[in-house]
Structure 1
Amino acid sequence: MYTPPPLPVPIFTYLINYGISFLILAMLVRAIASWFRIDERNVFIRFLARLTDPFIVPIRRVIGQMWVLDLSFFVAWFMLQTVQILLLQAVRPLGW
Structure 2
Amino acid sequence: MYTPPPLPVPIFSFLVRYGINFLILAMLVRAIASWFRMDERYAFIRFLARLTDPFIVPARRVVGQVGMFDLSFFVAWFGLLILQVLLLQALPYGW
TM-score, structure 1 normalization = 0.90
- The alignment status of 1:26 with 2:19, answered yes or no, reads no
Please give the alpha-carbon distance, in whole angstroms, between the structure 1 residues aligned to 2:3 and 2:72: 43
Structure 1 position 93, deviation (Å): 5.9
Structure 1 position 36, deviation (Å): 1.1
Query: SS of the counterpart of 2:66?
Result: coil
Return the letter of the residue paired with 1:52: T
1:64 — aligned with what? 64
- The alignment status of 1:16 with 2:4, answered yes or no, reads no
8 Å contact from structure 2 (residues 6, 93) kept in 1: no
Please give the alpha-carbon distance, in whole angstroms, between the structure 2 residues aligned to 1:61 and 1:43: 26
Runs of 5+ in structure 1 lacking a partner? none
Return the letter of the residue paired with 1:27: M
Please give the alpha-carbon distance, in whole angstroms, between the structure 2 residues aligned to 1:92 and 1:4: 8
Runs of 4+ in 1 over 4 A off after TM superposition: none
1:74 — aligned with what? 74
Deviations along 1:42-69, one digit per CA (max 9) or x if unpaired, are 0000000000000000110111101111
Query: SS of the counterpart of 1:9?
Result: coil
Return the letter of the residue paired with 1:69: F
Please give the alpha-carbon distance, in whole angstroms, between the structure 2 residues aligned to 1:46 and 1:4: 42
Relative distance call for 1:79 and 1:35 in structure 2 (3 A) is same
Please give the alpha-carbon distance, in whole angstroms, between the structure 2 residues aligned to 1:93 and 1:85: 14
% of aligned pairs identical?
76
Matched positions, count: 94
TM-score, structure 2 normalization = 0.91
